[in-house]
Structure 1
Amino acid sequence: MRIRATVAAVSGALALSALAVPAAQADDSSYRESAAAAFAAAHGASGKSAFTTAVDGDLNVSFSNFKIATAVKVGTTNHVATTVTYKLTHGAEVDIHAEDFATGPYIYKGAFADPDNILFGYYAATCTDTSATTATCKGNIDIYPADGELLNSDAGSWKGGALALNYTTDDYADQGGLGSTLVQRNSKLTVNASPEPVVKGRTITVTGKLSRANWEDNLYHGYSTQPVKLQFRKKGSSTYTTVKTINTSTTGTLKTTVKATADGYFRYSFAGTSTTPAVSAAGDFVDVR
């Protein structure tokens, strides 16, 4: 499994004693490394874990009502954080507000027993009691694409899970299959309509390019052979209508022609895929005379 660049060396052979950090640090950035260590140790480097999505571990904690955004758009360099909320249920003997207790959400790609990749929050979640044994918790999933956390093959569907750790006893609780989201390669779309101005009835050439983030070289590259709609909005209107649909070239470029009929705005619009979000270019105004 891959667990962010700074903890990639953590393997299933790592003992849970690696979680023993000072209690005062339970809520600082050490949480992410500790959570990664716990997950790797629990699931094993061999990928032969028998875990399903049920709660595993010695800590009397379980999780439910996991809520995350439907999709998370990730570019090439900027840090992306998406908020997760979930319900935590614990035994009366578990003090979730103790300095040596921490919990947080995570998302994983692939099978829970041996995921292809996993992403945590940088800090532990914060929890608010709703009863003596339940709490509502809120935390982030933090993604740093420039740090090599993602491969292009990671785009698509991910599942959600949550962890709870006790830094003093090394006890933990780990549960997957709590929710799902799409982690998508951010997209960009451009348009240019010319000539401007143009005589009514003459030909307008509309060019553009659809590109998306490449997480392996931190650049944007053309998205090839994708259907894109050419749309027009007449001056004074607030509604775009589809003129035609064309496919991007092998390099993501777009080019088509239309007849000039009235002043208005041309744009390209892409509906999106499971790996790449929908995007529309800003309209380019053409003055028809």
Structure 2
Amino acid sequence: MERLDVIGNISRDLTRYPDHRGGSRLGGAALLLSLAAAKAGRRTAPVCVLGNDLAHLPQVPGLDTLDWSARIQADGMSTTFDLAYDLQGELVVVDTDYGVAKGLTKHALRHMDQHPRGTYHVCCRRPLDAAAVLGRLAGHAADFSVDFFLPSAEAMIRAAARWLPKATTLFVNAAEYRLLEQTIDCGTLPEVVITDGPRAAVVRCFGRQVASAIPPPHPPREVSGAGDTLAGTFLAHRSQGATTAQALAEATAAAAKYVAAPSLPIPAPRRG
């Protein structure tokens, strides 16, 4: 099976909820999506920039299931996110220090030129230059899928709009889908997976709904990363021949389990 290369950030996160849930954790869309895809049986490589503080991740038990050959290390600190949610799991405030991820676009462009026939997923989040990355993928006629992050989705969707009809799959939440509808004719998009928290997720192909699935009920401990888990699981199952409905059912179940499970701790560097 062809490897899935996931372009995005790996970060140190702090999540906060009004009921005192949350805390420090390992995060970033490139990591969480890659782990979900690997767990579902697909070989996956994060295309990312790690700072000195997270340079040891490829040796950490549980993370060594990933193919780390597409990552680079840079002097400095990795991306950090401070994420505040309300009791309904909606993100209300985000503070970010991108750190060494400011070099992600340059690294991703170089990697794509070295692997022009690869299969890619692009996490369209700042500081990535989404237009440059998607334009390069389209130029290579590579297969690629895309997701967004609500705080930057409006700007990223506008920047990416020209190339979105060439994507195999787009992943958005309900609010991002409304932004998408304002920017592009969604009838031109081959496959859009739309999530809505605990409510039904749906798949639309060229504007027509073809599948839906209600996530199993699990009391949420941590919602940050649920969409990444769903996307990685969906892509892995589709690549193994699952139907859209089957892949969506597996993906919603994986996301529901993820929100109920403990977060990934930030691993201490190995000594010696």
**TM-score over 0.5 (shorter chain):** no
In the superposition, the TM-score normalised over structure 2's length comes to: 0.25
TM-score by length of 1: 0.24
- Name which one, 1 or 2, has greater alpha-carbon Rg: 1
Higher helix share: 2
